[in-house]
């Protein structure tokens, strides 16, 4: 029998089938499968680089193997390393050569399965490539059947060979990319037990990036499918299916390589729209703060801080998307360093968004909001419409001008009327969340209005969210003074600090 005396599955000797003719053990050597199909010289010559002698790529590898005294047979691992180090060979030449080897290896695995056996430990170190009698023909041998087991004669056959197919995909990945697809090199000198353990694959983005940089899209998809990369369902039922696919790619390689548009799309970075990476905890904090608007003990102000580009605005916008189903009105504005001379630009943008959303809900809602504002502010509505003309869309143009006051008195009146306005438009059934981005560029009057809103004990059902770059404000910055004043008045502030995402989340 080609199995060890005590096989891993503990089948008694009298139950073992007679050894298949293609498998043999001689002189205590490891089991070997000799593949019937050889890579003939004429096939190799057809893929050599121009202006070089026939089979130059393969011959150069054999010469280097000879210097290492490995001409009697070398592992596929060694062959892969030398092939990818050969700077003289073109990518097209390498794909041709590797495809021919891949076809032979997949057929070798198919013959093992036809013999009623699964390999269970197929790696590049378990495949031997050997030159035949100093010719250009190559013999492929699959060894290392010490972990092999018998295939069941029932519906579990596919699940039994599934691991072999996945291992074949990993071998093909390493052949074409020159990289190990696992986070830990499973071909290193490991003990028998450790070698049989399945390692963790690299991230999906890494696998796609490494593979599509070397092979056409169709071949990359086939290999990733074999490896059962996340999101892909296995579509191959046997090693013969894989062999047919590889053979078809080999014979149509020229036309496949010419179709590069889809290849470029897959090879480029592609991040799903709206998906956050590494900010789940920050998103939950913001959603929790928004969900507690108007409840006893709920904070009226949430601040999101961090360096430029770390995702502060994206986290808040993601929270906004998740709150769409709830009856919460979310309005936003953004401060601009080029408009610091014009105060209240961000708040004006947020109110413009508010008025447009009210008008879109129809005349009945617009009338109800108008009545609430007029009842709260009465004749002083002109104080607001003078600064925020967008409110005229709801309340109309005021019939009389506001009474003229001194600068300080006028500012105090404006802040008080703005408080009345926010009280009027926020209700238990429709709370308002005001998000202002880039507070580090906010003008002093905007900061005063924000402070007036979050300190107003009669303003309920309201939450202010602000984002700023904490590395761009110092002790003398207006925002620092505003926050210090709020802390002195014991206003509860929900602080969310966002840093760069970790390497784990990137991959």
Question: How high is the pLDDT of residue 53?
Answer: 39
Q: Answer for the pair 180, 172: CB distance below 8 angstroms, yes or no.
A: no
One-character DSSP codes across 10-30: ---GGGSPPPPTTEE--TTPP
| Phi, psi for residue 404 in degrees, rounded to 5 | -75, 135
Domains and CATH numbers, the chain: 57-183+200-255 (1.10.510.10), 280-497 (3.40.50.300)
Torsion of CA 215, 220, 223, 226, to 10 degrees: 180
Tokens of 251: 């014979």
Question: How high is the pLDDT of residue 134?
Answer: 58
In this structure, is the dihedral angle defined by the CA atoms of residues 132, 138, 143 and 148, taken in order, positive or negative?
A: negative
Over range 454-473, report the average pLDDT. 92
Q: Counting beta carbons within 10 angstroms of the beta carbon of residue 341, is it exposed (0 to 12), middle (13 to 18) or buried (19 or more)?
A: exposed
Question: How high is the pLDDT of residue 90?
Answer: 53
User: How far apart, in whole angstroms, are the C-alpha atoms of residue 333 and residue 339?
Assistant: 13
By DSSP bridging, strand 138-142 and strand 329-334 are unpaired
Q: Is the pLDDT of residue 215 over 70?
A: yes
Tokens of 471: 């590395």
Over range 339-344, report the average pLDDT. 82
Rg (CA), the chain: 35
Question: How high is the pLDDT of residue 162?
Answer: 87
Mean pLDDT is highest, among 154-163, 273-282, 422-431, for 422-431
Helix 91-114, helix 239-251: angle, nearest 10: 150
Q: Is the pLDDT of residue 195 over 50?
A: no
- Measured CA to CA in angstroms, residue 134 lies from 63, 200, 373, 452 at distances of 11, 40, 95, 89
Q: How far is CA 105 from the centre of its chain?
A: 32
Query: In the predicted model, what is the mean pLDDT of the chain?
Result: 78
Q: Answer for the pair 150, 39: CB distance below 8 angstroms, yes or no.
A: no
Short-list 28, 21, 32, CA closest to 148 = 32
Short-list 419, 451, 461, 457, CA closest to 291 = 461
117's enclosing H/E stretch is strand 117-118
Question: How high is the pLDDT of residue 272?
Answer: 64
Question: How high is the pLDDT of residue 44?
Answer: 29
209's enclosing H/E stretch is helix 204-212
Q: Does residue 346 sit in helix, strand or coil?
A: helix
Tokens of 67: 């210097």
Mean pLDDT is highest, among 86-90, 154-158, 475-479, for 475-479
User: How far apart, in whole angstroms, are the C-alpha atoms of residue 108 and residue 20?
Assistant: 13
Neighbours of 299 (CB within 10 A): 18
Q: Is the pLDDT of residue 294 over 90?
A: no
Q: What is the DSSP letter of 90?
A: -
Question: How high is the pLDDT of residue 42?
Answer: 27
């Amino acid at each position: 029998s080609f199995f060890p005396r005590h096989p891993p599955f503990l089948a008694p000797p009298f139950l073992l089938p007679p050894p298949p003719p293609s498998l043999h053990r001689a002189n205590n050597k490891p089991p070997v499968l000799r593949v019937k199909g050889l890579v003939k010289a004429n096939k190799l010559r057809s893929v050599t680089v121009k202006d070089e002698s026939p089979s130059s790529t393969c011959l150069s590898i054999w010469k280097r193997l000879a210097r290492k005294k490995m001409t009697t047979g070398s592992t596929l691992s060694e062959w892969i390393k030398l092939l990818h180090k050969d700077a003289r060979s073109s990518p097209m030449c390498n794909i041709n050569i590797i495809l021919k080897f891949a076809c032979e290896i997949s057929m070798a695995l198919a013959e093992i399965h036809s013999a009623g056996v699964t390999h269970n430990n197929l790696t590049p170190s378990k495949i031997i490539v050997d030159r035949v009698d100093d010719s250009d023909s190559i013999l492929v041998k699959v060894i290392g059947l010490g972990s092999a087991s018998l295939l069941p004669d029932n519906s579990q056959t596919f699940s039994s060979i599934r691991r072999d197919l996945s291992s074949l995909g990993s071998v093909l990945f390493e052949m074409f990319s020159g990289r190990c697809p696992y986070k830990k090199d499973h071909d290193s000198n490991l003990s028998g037990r450790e070698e049989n353990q399945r390692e963790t694959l690299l991230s999906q983005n890494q696998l796609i990036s490494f593979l599509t940089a070397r092979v056409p899209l169709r071949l990359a998809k086939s290999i990733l499918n074999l490896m059962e990369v996340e999101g892909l369902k296995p579509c191959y039922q046997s090693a013969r299916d894989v062999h047919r696919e590889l053979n078809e790619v080999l014979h149509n390689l020229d036309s496949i390589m010419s179709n590069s548009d889809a290849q470029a799309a897959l090879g480029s970075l592609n991040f799903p729209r709206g998906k956050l990476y590494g900010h789940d905890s920050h998103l939950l904090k913001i959603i929790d703060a928004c969900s507690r608007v108007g409840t006893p003990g709920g904070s009226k102000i949430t601040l999101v801080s961090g360096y430029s580009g770390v995702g502060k605005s994206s986290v808040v916008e993601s929270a906004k998307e998740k709150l769409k189903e709830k009856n919460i009105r979310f309005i936003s504005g953004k401060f601009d360093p080029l408009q610091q001379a014009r105060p209240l630009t961000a708040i004006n943008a947020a109110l413009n968004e508010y008025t447009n959303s009210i008008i879109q809900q129809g005349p009945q809602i617009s009338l109800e909001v108008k009545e609430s504002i007029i009842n709260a502010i009465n004749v002083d509505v002109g104080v607001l419409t003078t600064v925020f003309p967008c409110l005229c869309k709801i309340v109309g143009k005021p019939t009389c001008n506001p009474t003229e006051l001194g600068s300080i008195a006028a500012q105090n009146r404006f802040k008080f009327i703005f408080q009345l306005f926010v009280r009027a438009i926020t209700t238990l059934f429709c709370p308002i969340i005001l998000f202002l981005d880039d507070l580090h560029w906010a003008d002093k009057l905007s900061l005063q209005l924000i402070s007036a809103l979050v300190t107003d004990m009669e303003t309920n059902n309201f939450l202010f969210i602000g984002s700023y770059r904490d590395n761009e404000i110092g002790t003398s910055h207006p925002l620092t003074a505003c926050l210090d004043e709020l802390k002195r008045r014991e206003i509860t502030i929900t602080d969310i600090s966002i840093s760069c995402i970790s390497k784990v989340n990137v991959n």
